[in-house]
Structure 1
Amino acid sequence: MTRSTPWRALPAAYCALGLMGGVLSLAACTTRAESEAARAPSPGEADRAHTDVLFIGAHPDDEFQSLATFGQWGEKPGLSTGVVTITRGEGGGNASGHQEGADLGMMREDEERKAVARAGIRNVFYLDKPDFWYTLSAPLTTTVWNKRPQPATDTLSRLVRLIRATTPSKVVTMDPRPFNQHGGHQEAGRLAVEAFRLAGDPNAFPEQITKEKYEAWKPTQLLAQSWGFQGPAGPTCATRKAKDPQTALPVIGVWTGTRSTRHPDRTWAQIERDAARDYVTQGFGSLPATVATQRDRLPCEWFTVLADTDNPPNPEVREQSGLRPLYSGFRDWARRMKMPWLANNAQPAYPADPSTDVPEVTKAPAVDGMAGPDEYPGPKLQLRHWEGKECTSGKDCAAAAEFSRHGDDLYAIVHVTDDTKGYALDVDDCKRHWRTDAVEIDLDPQGHSDDTSTTFKTGILPFAKGDKGPCAERDGDNRQGPAGTTAQGMAVASVVTAPYKGYSVEAKIPLADLPAPVDPDRLTANVLLYDSDTQDKTGKTRLAWFPYGSAQADPYVWGALRLPGYVPPPGRPTRPAEIPQDAAQSSKSQASVDQSRRTGVPLAGGPRNGPSPTV
């Protein structure tokens, strides 16, 4: 196919319109930068946006576990790779400072560009969609990425446009399946599947063809990262025929022990490690500088073949019954994509949830970090290993929680045994509680949430820098921010042992602060412990009352916390979620503007305006 060419720049006077009256208009200059970036190439430059492989991910760093593959493909057989990153990860954590929102997004763009350059990748296309807290919900993600007045297909249309602009033969993306993975990752994978199918259809987003003068373009192969695939290791792993255990789709491997032709003394596993350490805000800078695994034991990077025009897959479809909404929605999507096998065993066999009754007490507990007589007469709920390194003994780390209720207030105390004190964060850095020693209490007021936007989640630091603390915040739920503004009736206290052997955290949580009236027979909860044992703002061990899947973000696994005798006050409202929408913009990134001028692809995957130039 003949590749289409971008629109030419508007005249230089366009920016000067913003100088009328001697006042510089940044918006006008930005528009000029965008339009200049989309100038038409000369006939000899017609392929300057082309890439052989296009990776589509949700956040900066989503590609890092595939960089050994992309780097090898670049050296042999000489396939170029470009990256599409839908957000800049503004809603993620920051292990290197206090920057948040758009400022953090710009930092993460710099990290990503530096990291992927190690694999020979020059172009990273950002769609400028807002990143928000960790969710397991692709449906919630798509409502945030396509917030009104944008059309519901805005992100999809931009991806279709980028495939038509870059004309790849191979598209690589993330696993679209729903269990125990970031909703942004799921949605990136699903959008990539849809864009792969639609980019070659001239009836899909036809204005891109009729007005913007792109041509329909059909890639030949669609791959999904398969991070959890348990394949063989060693130099022969790439030659093994393998199948995905759920879908029976083919899985291909690329061995990370291959030596770089440009750096023959280094394996691609080591180059990928160097790249990973560039993602400093995500804590990857603390990874060991050298890959210690013997070369002949290095693993492959695995990819599931979702679509291949030369060998179209048609595996068996295994239907599931009794699906919860997130899983039935995924099944319906897979059917629409004519890939129903993707939903095989999508919903796991969830174990039975734990349950307990919360006793009512006649006197309100004193929130002082200690369990006084008769304050918590109910059972102790033992927290069990969930993620990370298992505790070697009760002195290493252990935790138990107790609950009680007085009137319209829920009380909780968590007793923690710990042998090593983690990093003391600043009080104003409380939202990053999972980077050090902390407790989290999660509550679903009516017990039927499909994602945490309709729940109450609070993280509590037992100590903070300068002998301050405790502090409490809300994140990943119906409201975001310090408890003092998002849950004004909440109170917390802690007792930290000296010498350090652990701590206790106590909290009063007014049921009025929950996002909906509490159903006393259906309230569900989880209690989590984050154990660090380091000073580098990374965690080591996580415990949970119900330690299954993504225990902090999957309300389906939270246990019943029944409130006998409780009657919620009448007329208590249900509050809609407030989700951050602060997204970094490509027009503010010099690297993105320069790339757009060089490739002719408009910023943020946006449209080309005006008639197509004659080629």
Structure 2
Amino acid sequence: MRALLVAALLHLFPITPTTVSPTPPQADLDVLFVGAHPDDEAFSLSTLGQWNEDHRLRAGVVTVTRGEGGGNAVGPEEGPALGLLREGEERAAVGKAGVRDVFNLDDVDFYYTVSAPLTDQIWGGDTLEKVVRVVRQTRPEVMLTMDPAPTPGNHGNHQQAARLAIEAYYAAADPKAFPEQITREGLKPFAPARLFLGGARGIAPRTGPECESVSDPVRDVYAVWSGRQSQSQGRSWAAIERDAQRTYASQGWAGFPDVPSDPAKLGCDYFTQVDSRVPIPEPGTASPTAMLEGAVVQGQGGLPLGTQLSLNTGSFAVRPGQPFTVTVSLKSRGSLGRVSVEPRVPDGWKVSGSGTTFTVTPGATFGRARIGAVVTTDRGRGYADRQVEVGPAVRGQQQLLPQVTQYEKWAAVAPQLRGIVTPVLTLPSGGSRQVGVTVTNVGSATESGTVRLALPSGFTADRTEAAYSGLAAGATTTVPFTITNSDPSLKTSNEGGDYAYTITTTGSDGSSVAKPALELVPSATIPQATTAPAVDGVESPGEYPGQALDISRVWEGSPCASPADCSGTAKVTWRDGTLFVLVNVKDDVLGTKLATSDCKRHWRTDSVEVTFDPRGTSENTSTTFKTAVLPVTAEGPPCVLRDADNHQGPGAPGEKVASKVSAGEYTVELSIPIAALPGPVDPAHLGMNILVYDSDTQDKTGQTRIGWSTWGGVQGDPYRWGVATLAGYQPGTGTVPDPVIPNTALSSLDSPQSLEQAARLGLPLAGGPAAPRSEAGWVTAAKVSGQAVQVRFHADSPGELHLFVRDDQGTAGGKVATVSRDGTVTVPLTRALSGNASVVAGWNSAGTLASQVRVR
């Protein structure tokens, strides 16, 4: 339900402290977006803006981190200072869509990763509790989030934020989840009505208003056209959204081009529903309000708002010819009069029963199916549905990558999200690997059968068929095969793409067919040099006896205009416990020459990145070595750094680098002690990649990324790096050191903008608990005194006050004070005050509280 927007500054006038009480919560939202970083919501702002303007819906954004681990194209800020900058960008951006409330959770943004497990490890176990608390505080009917699946290249922080949102959708409604929020903090369980992911797999984007007509045989997919005109701003919402995106200047977005002026060329924002507790439009309904219907908008002829309608199939996995029970749940605030329920099932399926419980018997076709029900009453009509997956008793699939295995286990919270990631495994060009086929019996009887492979041209296996036997009900076994790339001339990396093949697994009631894929990665032998190369940026005769590696494949960004624009080769050798790498890059325009003191975030300009995975088995880059070289700096010489690996910061001890820059090209040479790699090396399977970041501008943004083993997001995906054999190297011993990962995030107590919002809404900070009334502190008065502001406060217990003097120009002074009882704090001013000056304060003891007073 919508509440009136109430703008409340706490304690605007000096009054007796004992009569003061914090502002009651004023944060009743209609829509809540949950993302990982500032800018994650940036491609949904067209939709949020339309909903705000056309339906007066109040939206908010949860941002788990402030993006401290990202780059900065506008200044030297990093860490918490960058977080403060990016929070300001986000608040300005979402404000263009009428979004006023941004809830930062203060988790750390450590570095780019595609690993949700690593993200979960770094964020810690209390993040879900914080998201649930915000949901219970703000009570949104509609929740939006990102893609939770480990689709190749999908940011691990995005995956984890989406999983937290999905878990919170269910947990916020459960009084057994985080019960202290209810018993101690006075919150109530709250069940959001509908939950969506941004995007829609398999939907071809279209332009023009007809893009809202989306049809999917199984999923509930919706679209909102961005070409609709804003009545208040007189422009398309796509154009308004683009202006908002340009606000993220620190991320290099300020130069985003204009959107087309022709509405027919503007597309839709796409969303996929995960779940709903209310009536939804029937499949195929095209309407800009379709995502809102049943939750905050009553559809034409629909059931009254507040009606709950859902469908339960009991099980996601069902079998052909075996009946299962479907139950329709209908609850309303008032009488609906006569009620009838009409089940909707695929052609060829059987239905029996009446009322709200049915028995459904699937047909013989395997795959996903939609089970729906239409409810007709005297007060309107409603629809609900649910997915099931039809398959035989025995099902086989290619072994999953670790992060996919972890995702499939997590997806038990929402089974319809299972199986949406195509299983892939990498294979070195011309090499072999063992591939396990996981066979699972979901039936009730012991099974025996066969597993058969049908491989594409250029691949062979030690056997194409193998038997399994005595597989008990509910049990799983693995049938191994050794697969070889028999044609090394096949293209590797993203140039070759996925080499799909078929796994057929037989059982007593039919065969399951899976279509996984193999991905070829380049391979190379690293020979031992006769003598150690001189690290001077020049290849002298005989220094590098190995093959030249082609590092010209594009993996992200704009295509190279020509080999002169961006292309390269690399050579690698080793000697006396040291790896030597020589990289030659053709580049006709050099990017920004960063200062040596700014030798970080190498993707902002021209750079070369060299990566090693010592054992070739890392799930994420925290157990790898990644180093980058800027071939030239503002001072002249190159600089070297480590990023997103086992140990952040400058180059490794003993690492050396040199470069030669000339017209149209540069050469980078570096030596890396093998001992600097995290743990012992497997010389037969050393993961390796060489990547080039090409910038043709002076605004600290990159345009093209090329490399050796290339896939989108490959810098964070060790399993997709190439495979190197370290000829003649004897493996050492040792253990993998614990990773060094940035762990400093900006606290909302040190963010004046977060404090102002918390004071306005009467909520605690960062999704945490509020300070108990008996342990709270707040400001009660403020006045200018010379070059400072005298701030009077009340404190019920010892605690910490974070004070900021604010005016129309921003922050004019700040101070952190530890206090134990009522008193006064002097806050020095850094400049003269302008209009609308106030003091905003954050209190921290057993919880937090924000307050604000006008400066007199």
TM-score class, shorter: 0.7 to 0.9
Describe the SS at the equivalent of 1:188.
Answer: helix
Q: State which structure, 1 or 2, has the greater radius of gyration over its C-alpha atoms.
A: 2
Query: Residue type of the partner of 1:39?
Result: P
Q: Which of 226, 229, 234 is residue 256 of structure 1 equivalent to?
A: 226
How far off its partner does 1:372 sit? Answer: 1.1
**Could you tell me which residue of structure 1 aligns to residue 59 of structure 2?**
81
Alpha-carbon distance between aligned partners in 1 of 2:108 and 2:200, rounded to the nearest angstrom: 25
Alpha-carbon distance between aligned partners in 1 of 2:268 and 2:214, rounded to the nearest angstrom: 10
**Could you tell me which residue of structure 2 aligns to residue 428 of structure 1?**
597
Alignment partner of 1:360 is 2:343: no
**Could you tell me which residue of structure 1 aligns to residue 408 of structure 2?**
331
Describe the SS at the equivalent of 2:554.
Answer: strand
Change (3 A) 1:52 1:329: same
**Could you tell me which residue of structure 2 aligns to residue 303 of structure 1?**
271
Deviates more, 1:204-213 or 1:603-612: 603-612
Q: What does the per-residue CA deviation read over 1:117-162, in whole Å, with 9 as the maximum and x for residues that have no partner?
A: 111111101111111110011111111111xxxxx2x100111111
Alignment partner of 1:214 is 2:187: yes
Conserved? CA contact 1:93–1:281, under 8 Å? yes
Alpha-carbon distance between aligned partners in 1 of 2:574 and 2:261, rounded to the nearest angstrom: 52
**Could you tell me which residue of structure 2 aligns to residue 96 of structure 1?**
74
Q: How does 1:102-501 map to 2 (within 5 A)?
A: 102-146=80-124, 152=125, 154-179=126-151, 180-226=153-199, 230-242=204-216, 248-264=218-234, 266-288=235-257, 290-292=258-260, 294-309=262-277, 310=279, 311-316=384-389, 320-335=397-412, 337-348=413-424, 349-383=517-551, 384-466=553-635, 468-483=636-651, 487-497=652-662, 500-501=663-664
Q: How does 1:7-18 map to 2 (within 5 A)?
A: none
Conserved? CA contact 1:257–1:296, under 8 Å? yes
How far off its partner does 1:392 sit? Answer: 3.0
How far off its partner does 1:57 sit? Answer: 0.6
Conserved? CA contact 2:592–2:605, under 8 Å? yes
Alignment partner of 1:598 is 2:760: yes
Conserved? CA contact 1:492–1:505, under 8 Å? yes
How far off its partner does 1:237 sit? Answer: 0.9
Percent identical across equivalent pairs? 47
How far off its partner does 1:316 sit? Answer: 3.0
Conserved? CA contact 1:334–1:343, under 8 Å? no
Conserved? CA contact 1:331–1:340, under 8 Å? no
How far off its partner does 1:11 sit? Answer: 11
**What stretches of structure 2 of length at least 5 have no aligned partner?**
4-8, 280-383, 425-516, 775-856
Q: What does the per-residue CA deviation read over 1:76-112, in whole Å, with 9 as the maximum and x for residues that have no partner?
A: 2221100111111111111111111101000111111
Conserved? CA contact 1:177–1:343, under 8 Å? no
Alpha-carbon distance between aligned partners in 2 of 1:225 and 1:301, rounded to the nearest angstrom: 8
Conserved? CA contact 1:437–1:461, under 8 Å? yes
**Could you tell me which residue of structure 1 aligns to residue 746 of structure 2?**
584
**Could you tell me which residue of structure 1 aligns to residue 35 of structure 2?**
57
Change (3 A) 1:317 1:210: farther
Q: What does the per-residue CA deviation read over 1:371-395, in whole Å, with 9 as the maximum and x for residues that have no partner?
A: 1111111111101121111123222
Q: Which of 521, 524, 540 is residue 684 of structure 2 equivalent to?
A: 521
**Structure with the higher fraction of residues in helix conformation:** 1
Let me know the Cα RMSD of the aligned residues.
2.5
Conserved? CA contact 1:102–1:584, under 8 Å? yes
Describe the SS at the equivalent of 1:286.
Answer: coil
Alpha-carbon distance between aligned partners in 2 of 1:475 and 1:317, rounded to the nearest angstrom: 45
**What stretches of structure 1 of length at least 5 have no aligned partner?**
4-8, 18-31, 147-151
Q: TM-score, normalised by structure 2?
A: 0.63
Alpha-carbon distance between aligned partners in 2 of 1:57 and 1:482, rounded to the nearest angstrom: 31
Alpha-carbon distance between aligned partners in 1 of 2:767 and 2:183, rounded to the nearest angstrom: 17
Q: What does the per-residue CA deviation read over 1:288-338, in whole Å, with 9 as the maximum and x for residues that have no partner?
A: 3x3245221111111111112233431437874310111110011112x03
Query: Residue type of the partner of 1:575?
Result: P
**Could you tell me which residue of structure 1 aligns to residue 782 of structure 2?**
none
Change (3 A) 1:317 1:517: farther
Conserved? CA contact 1:161–1:605, under 8 Å? yes
Query: Residue type of the partner of 2:209?
Result: P
How far off its partner does 1:370 sit? Answer: 1.3
Describe the SS at the equivalent of 2:46.
Answer: helix
Alpha-carbon distance between aligned partners in 2 of 1:39 and 1:439, rounded to the nearest angstrom: 54
**Equivalences, count:** 562
Q: What does the per-residue CA deviation read over 1:461-519, in whole Å, with 9 as the maximum and x for residues that have no partner?
A: 111113x1211100100111111xxx01111111111xx21111111011011111111
Alpha-carbon distance between aligned partners in 1 of 2:557 and 2:42, rounded to the nearest angstrom: 20
Conserved? CA contact 1:317–1:340, under 8 Å? no
Query: Residue type of the partner of 1:198?
Result: A
Describe the SS at the equivalent of 2:44.
Answer: helix
Q: TM-score, normalised by structure 1?
A: 0.87
Conserved? CA contact 1:177–1:186, under 8 Å? yes
Describe the SS at the equivalent of 2:398.
Answer: coil
Change (3 A) 1:450 1:569: closer
Change (3 A) 1:214 1:496: same
Query: Residue type of the partner of 2:728?
Result: G
Q: Which has the higher contact order (CA 8 A, sep 6+)?
A: 1
How far off its partner does 1:609 sit? Answer: 4.9
**Could you tell me which residue of structure 1 aligns to residue 806 of structure 2?**
none
Alpha-carbon distance between aligned partners in 1 of 2:11 and 2:120, rounded to the nearest angstrom: 37
Conserved? CA contact 2:104–2:767, under 8 Å? yes
**Structure with the higher fraction of residues in strand conformation:** 2
How far off its partner does 1:574 sit? Answer: 2.3
**Could you tell me which residue of structure 2 aligns to residue 557 of structure 1?**
720
Describe the SS at the equivalent of 1:400.
Answer: strand
Alpha-carbon distance between aligned partners in 1 of 2:726 and 2:594, rounded to the nearest angstrom: 35
Alpha-carbon distance between aligned partners in 2 of 1:198 and 1:303, rounded to the nearest angstrom: 22
